[in-house]
Amino acid sequence: MMNKYRLMSPGPTPIPPEVSAAGALPIIHHRTPEFGEVFTRVNEALKRVFLTENDVFTYAASGTGAFEGAVQNLFSPGDKILVVNNGNFGGRWVKVGKAFGLEVTELKYDWGQKADNDEVAEALANDPEIKAAVCVLSETSTGTVNDIEGFAKAASNVVTIVDAVSGLGACELRTDDWGIDVVVAGSQKALMTPPGLGFVSVSERAMRMHEEAKMPRFYFDWTAAKKAYAKDPAQTAWTPAVSLIIQLDVALRQLLDEGVENVFGRHVLLGRASREGIKGMGLSLFGPDEDLNSAVTAAWVPEGVDGKQLVRMIFREHGIQIAGGQADMAGRIFRIGHCGYFDAFDIIATIAATELALESLDFPVELGKGVGAAQRVFSKSGVTA
Amino acid sequence: MMNKYRLMSPGPTPIPPEVSAAGALPIIHHRTPEFGEVFTRVNEALKRVFLTENDVFTYAASGTGAFEGAVQNLFSPGDKILVVNNGNFGGRWVKVGKAFGLEVTELKYDWGQKADNDEVAEALANDPEIKAAVCVLSETSTGTVNDIEGFAKAASNVVTIVDAVSGLGACELRTDDWGIDVVVAGSQKALMTPPGLGFVSVSERAMRMHEEAKMPRFYFDWTAAKKAYAKDPAQTAWTPAVSLIIQLDVALRQLLDEGVENVFGRHVLLGRASREGIKGMGLSLFGPDEDLNSAVTAAWVPEGVDGKQLVRMIFREHGIQIAGGQADMAGRIFRIGHCGYFDAFDIIATIAATELALESLDFPVELGKGVGAAQRVFSKSGVTA
């Protein structure tokens, strides 16, 4: 039977048809008023999504590139930073810090565990030389979302850096209200745009630290970006990814039309329905069962089932692309992404396909039980009524 | 009157309709056999366009990012390099080298002048500590193309780095035959793809230098790229710009269907017709009048004409986007790009529009004289017969 392709991975994520269509528009020159108009609108919209008055710089790069840029722009070799590591991406930022010669204090947690912000405060109190603290908003590798408001409070004496690559525009993140200095994000998650754009918002305090920072840099240099943004109309320092920015313009307008608070609310429901669906079919969640976890739902592969086969079967038999586990969790967990352009029936289809695949793999499931549990979440909320 | 939009800038450049259409395809997950198949095909096609057996690494980045990556991957702080600077981009690589703490010997030429490879050899002989030499293939800022075969010979004792961002796939460049170690390129010129992808090909000798290089790096790290490329199917180290790579796949197939040698030949004609058109309407070329100059044609703005107004008028009245001069040349020269998806009638339209705009600006032109000169180039070649 024909199966439609449904991308339910935690990134890249599906994009709205209007954003797809914009990807087929002709390429325009970037040093023109025409592109300047688009780019100015994008910059204003990004601020509204980041919930900040700070500049948000856009790079042709993945989130990892924008993150590396933050390290180059903020520090000098030998500087001390604190990195909260409770998953694959927290672990990556430890590696980036070390690659750039920083002294990294690592606050390590088991995958799936949340960061303890009392320990963040303690680690910073123990070493007043630490200049900045890094925390991941939504750990794509586990679905676990850290309490960033608490993190920003605990680390308020140093520059705070939040990796919001997965999460920004889905999980609640109030950059200015919570006092976060640097937020790194990417285009391919809740911003409903193809991968290839990295973003960074920079507070005044972070900009002052940047001015003292001696790490070599060029492509990601914030001073070069700031200078280009100050032009009329605003420009990027180097050739921008024109087509992706034109697509982003369409995507951000859709996001703002829905409303940032409504988008947060929708993601809470998507996460809740996914978790109820998983539990409803008799499986166990990986990580805490809480409404913060609104970007990715991770679940244990049940005993007797081959996790890689399960993910493959859901794709091959049903056309739905979910993700397996990363690193040590490969084959042991599976992950459903719902960060971005997702609605109730995307979740319902995915839960239904998971039930069908488990049945094919001789795991005892009662078809419809998980689906019903997911439906009840939407029914109670009145969203699909 | 309605004017179609015609992008005749030296980058970004127009893309074929099939490449546009591919930009509207749904986003697929990158860690899958489906994307792996595309990416493997792209990697093989890139080698055929770069004319190399070396790995060609693809980054979500502009050409400047891929160039910075080469500096991070090849050197340790304090290393000595030679940079040929005969335009805006040569000048940029001097800045990148200095930003990363290299000792840069600059071989400087006036804009529009070609590099003298005897002087390259001399500079290297004078300082045996220099580890690498950088030269730009086609200086987008001036249209001038350097003799890279001669450069590679003159610099054969050190690692050679060629900035082919503008030029690769248009101007003759035989990476392996000429013994070039590192070639940097971008998607948005002759590769007929939107901006947002940077490329670098790396010889064995460059890879060995990389292994000794101590510059901090992460995002652009060649070892990480090599490890990801060795997987089956090949992957990128970080999330790739999926949609741009899918578009590149279509563009590269078109380029290889035309044939690399035919593509070089077409660009020689496009450049020759542009230069004859410019001279035919009584203007003067900026830089040498030779067939190497096949990516960009630069011309002096005639006395009594406002160069910025000329470029604006060609766009506003005729829909054709050419480019003005950069830096000191702003307002003094104008540039017609023909590097990528261009045919005879793109050049003819641009020459015709330039004649019409000059007439409107009260500069004495005989309409059709430049156009006729351009036509004769194509007529003699038999291309449009």
Do A244 and B239 make contact, defined as CB atoms within 8 angstroms?
no
**ipTM of this predicted structure:** 0.92
Strand pairing of A103-108 and A80-85? parallel
Task: Mark which residues 52-71 of B lie under 8 Å from A by CB.
Answer: 59-65, 68
- Nearest CB to A196 within list B11, B188, B244: B244
The answer to whether the CB atoms of A323 and B20 lie below 8 A apart is no
Neighbours of A256 (CB within 10 A): 14
Nearest C-alpha neighbor of B187 from the set B169, B202, B161, B171: B169
Question: Of A249, A200, A234, whose CA–CA distance to A50 is shortest?
Answer: A200
Which class is domain A259-381?
A: alpha beta
Is some CB atom of chain A closer than 8 A to the CB atom of B98? Answer: no
Q: What is the pLDDT, as a whole number, of residue B11?
A: 85
Contact A241 B62 (CB under 8 A): yes
- Rg for chain A (alpha carbons), in Å? 21
Residue among B130, B175, B133 at smallest CA distance from B151: B133
Domain A18-257 has CATH 3.30.70.360: no
Cα B16 to Cα B244: distance, rounded to the nearest angstrom:
13
pLDDT score of B382? 72
Residue B335 counted as an annotated binding residue:
yes
What is the full DSSP assignment across A296-337? Answer: EEEEEPPTTS-HHHHHHHHHHHH-EE-EE--GGGTTTEEEEE
Question: Above 60 in pLDDT, residue A384?
Answer: no
What is the average pLDDT score of chain A?
96
What residues of chain B score a pLDDT lower than 50? 385
Tokens representing B229 are 């490329």
CATH, range B24-257 = 3.40.640.10
Question: What is the residue extent of each domain of chain A?
Answer: 18-257, 259-381
Confidence of residue A385 (pLDDT cuts 50, 70, 90): very low
**Rounded Cα–Cα distance for residues B251 and B248 (Å):** 5
Residues of chain B contacting residue A195, judged by C-beta atoms under 8 Å apart = 27, 30, 60, 239-243
Q: pLDDT class for A383, splitting at 50, 70, 90?
A: low
With residue A378 as reference, give the H or E element that holds it. helix A369-381
Contacts of B215 in chain A (CB under 8 A): 216
Nearest to B284 by CA among B297, B295, B268: B297
Residue B5, judged by CB atoms within 10 A of its CB (0-12, 13-18, 19+), counts as middle
- Site of tokens 């352009």: A341
What is the Cα–Cα distance from B135 to B132, expressed in whole angstroms? 10
Res A170: pLDDT: 95
For residue A27, give the nearest of B12, B101, B238 by CB distance.
B12
Cα separation, A221 vs A232, in Å, equals: 20
Rounded to whole angstroms, the Cα distance separating B71 from B93 reads 9
The token pair that represents A127 in the structure block: 């070493």
